[in-house]
A and B are shown apart, each in its own frame.
Chain A
């Protein structure tokens, strides 16, 4: 055999060995939660304390954990984590900070759960968080007008419920982290000693806010009046009244965007600092669902984290229904035009 044949053989074998070595050794890359940006500004001791507490309470991305009082089985959490990895991670990120790899290219950007604020909720106005069912509903129908897809009907409520539990974990963890950072910062500024049980206190506070949602559901006590011309006219009157000032943001024709007087010259931003615009109510695209009941709840409770207030105090339940009827008529009118 020629020397060359041997040489090529040796080279090839080396190449093949390297190739299959890499192929067969899928990397085991440990995944870690990303600390909040402001954590690094604290002294190292505080950083260590906070990270340690978070890991003790919530585990790691590979081994998630929730305090026992939340009542979520580890098995469910694991299932939720699996689903989250496959379907949610690339937008919402490992930490739930809305900084996944796809996120930079999305308008509006994916939600950062760490604030503990969720826009769409149907719990009582005094309750901060959305109910578990609200989150499941959001997963099922997606958020029309955004890139959040609908996961119904191919995934059942049980699967989606598990993801929601995992998302709640990420939200709790993020909120606890932020409150801890805040507390540490204040303590340093005021040169005070931190309480021994600070972490536990804050955690209880956060868990408490989620616990509040149980059994808390806003439901109108009067039935929806039929959408007569009279009802629609009443709704229009309320929409255009200074009491509600709906038209100030959504515009006289309900077209949203920058047509409202109050919007012009001012930049509306949500709690995450993203530029937002009042909804165009003629399009029939509502992030929180298009059923009359959904609209009623949105008006009653408002949209958390934005400039849309709740009208539970200002309007009667019946008046809200008139507004709903009016809004539905706007969409019908627009469709009549466009065909």
Chain B
């Protein structure tokens, strides 16, 4: 497909309402569809998390709403298999329906063509298909809540034989089968998406947009797409094998359950990077823009993303140090895992370097990005404890790992997502978010998140195993209960803070002040077209790129920003 074709397509085709908002092939609409769907699931996943926390803090006390609704017969106290379902679905929803689709689906779709100066994706119909593959995935997952036995309850890791033996757990009846079907659809969707992203970035960059003139968001999404394209087929194959085990009685995982763990983590460890790399890209863009200063160490930043992705393929075994895998393998996985901390450290130092000597503007987007830097450090450093095999013996499968994963995926990815939403909202919808409430939302989320997740390190050090419905009967854990109550209260504050976000988001969506073309005085291409951009993105001609994306504070011009598209030689002669 050539660029000419897309251009003519853009000019001649005026889609109707359905074509514009529902069955759209426009990358911006598809991105926004992903955004809305994922925000919806963010609420579901958050509610599930609060239910989990309620049970841990006040075991078997009547649960608000859920208790009245489902467990009135037993006085509102939930049952343990319902609890296992809660945390299984919390993780599944958050990972597969919130973080991945938000970062790669919403921001990937919306940003890539706009930031590289293309009119649309390379394969617009494939792109639409990648969204519509998510719809059955969403539907099947939601439907699994109401089948007999409830939704999947074998953990989001779905280790066999617990997941493959229907009699092992209530959620291992129909729920687990539907879980597998849903994730196979997610896999197909992501695969279609990643092929599209790779092709678009390689083939459709605007004139002058060399690889090393691409904004970090695009670089990160590019590497993520490659990671996804190569790792995801392994998970999809494993899901199909487990589905066969469950439905037609094959025994791929019955004699050797550890095989599943290898296949699962071969994707699901890179998945952690799929969930953090785009966040790193977004944060790099936001920090540079609001420091009014070029990104420090652009090339080292790119190389470190590449090495994270490369190393990401050979670290999966660190989830299996105590699984019964040969301990000699544990040694090699320890080396690769500890080394992956290095590129992450380089990135952090470069972000600090970017702030150094800047003129920092504390916008809501910037605050969220700064929170990412500040808290990703904690997630990165706590990873070293688990990578060290002897230490992992003690803290594996305890709350230490729960703390770690949430410092990476919540205070990492979710803060990056908030940064992205505050940053690109004006471009997406042509209206601005309210900055005051944006900051209040940020402050409450920041405090709530830290009070929720930081104490979990301590729970883990004491040895509290994860996925326990009730620790009060276990002698050595009993005195942790006040800490658990504190964590739950903090989680409720954090959950409540999202109400502010929703109020701000939806009010501004319909009644916010009209946004200007370039509200942040940023350099990249998406800020050169109208807000929201028209079908086809850029008016008559595709913009030409003259320089790197982060030329803030350039001495060549009077203003402190210098867009990628501005041709200085021409303006001087004229």
Residues of A within 8 A of B (CB): 2, 4-5, 7-9, 11-12, 15-16, 19-20, 22-23, 25-31, 34, 61, 85-86, 89-90, 93-94, 100-102, 104-105, 107, 154
Contacts and interface: CB of A to CB of B under 8 A. Distances in A.
B124 interface: no
Contact of A90 (B62, B79, B511): B79
Nearest to B512: A4
A107 B170 CA distance: 11
Contacts of B82: 101
Nearest to A151: B473
Given A94-B73, A105-B170, A27 B81 contact: no
Contacts of A11: 503, 507
Contacts of A22: 64-65
Nearest to B63: A26
B500 A105 contact: no
B71 interface: yes
A155 to B, nearest CB: 8
A8 B504 contact: yes
Given A5-B436, A90-B74, 8 more contacts: A4-B508, A5-B437, A8-B434, A19-B499, A34-B73, A101-B71, A102-B80, A105-B170
A261 B329 CA distance: 53
A101 B74 contact: yes
Interface string B53-81: 00000111111110110011111110111
Contact of A7 (B65, B74, B507): B507
Contacts of B79: 90, 100-102
Contacts of B503: 8, 11-12, 15
A12 B77 contact: no
5 contacts: A11-B507, A15-B496, A27-B76, A102-B80, A105-B169
A102 B170 contact: yes
Kindly name the residue among B60, B67, B148, B512 whose own CB sees the greatest number of chain A CB atoms within 10 A.
Answer: B60
B167 interface: yes
Contacts of A19: 492, 495-496, 499
B156 to A, nearest CB: 20
Given A16-B496, A85-B60, A29 B72 contact: yes
A100 B495 CA distance: 31
Interface in B1-59: 58-59
A51 B339 CA distance: 70
A105 B149 contact: yes
Nearest to B76: A29
Nearest to B82: A101
The 5 residue pairs across chains A and B that have the minimum distance between CB atoms: A15-B499, A90-B79, A11-B503, A105-B170, A31-B75
A86 B470 contact: yes
Contacts of B406: none
Contacts of B64: 22-23, 25-27
A8 B500 contact: yes
A32 B52 CA distance: 26
Given A29-B68, A105-B149, A94 B511 contact: no
B74 A8 contact: no
A152 to B, nearest CB: 13
Contacts of A7: 507, 511
B319 interface: no
B434 A5 contact: yes
B396 interface: no
Given A7-B507, A94-B74, A105-B170, A2 B434 contact: yes
B173 interface: yes
B59 A86 contact: yes
A101 B59 CA distance: 17
B496 A9 contact: no
A152 B475 CA distance: 14
Contacts of A86: 59-60, 470, 473
B507 A8 contact: yes
Contacts of A61: 75
A86 B500 CA distance: 37
Interface in B241-300: none
A28 B67 CA distance: 10
B77 A85 contact: yes
Contacts of B76: 26-27, 29
B80 A90 contact: yes
Contacts of B148: 104
A276 B399 CA distance: 42
Interface string B185-219: 00000000000000000000000000000000000
Contacts of B437: 5, 8-9, 12
B337 to A, nearest CB: 36
Nearest to A95: B73
Interface in B93-108: none
Contacts of B511: 4, 7
Contacts of A104: 148-149, 170
Nearest to A147: B167
Contact of B67 (A4, A27, A30, A107): A27
Interface in B493-550: 495-496, 499-500, 502-504, 507-508, 511-513
A105 B499 contact: no
B81 A102 contact: yes
A16 B499 contact: yes
B109 to A, nearest CB: 28
A29 to B, nearest CB: 4
Nearest to B58: A26
Contacts of B474: 154
Interface in B393-443: 434, 436-437
B42 to A, nearest CB: 15
A101 B80 CA distance: 9
Contacts of A28: 62
A26 B492 CA distance: 14
B556 to A, nearest CB: 37
Given A9-B437, A19-B499, A29-B72, A89 B77 contact: yes
Interface string B461-474: 00000000010011
Nearest to A105: B170
Contacts of A2: 434
Contacts of B169: 105
Most B CB atoms within 10 A — which of A20, A90, A104?
A: A90
A62 B67 CA distance: 17
A19 to B, nearest CB: 5
A246 B64 CA distance: 55
A107 B167 contact: yes
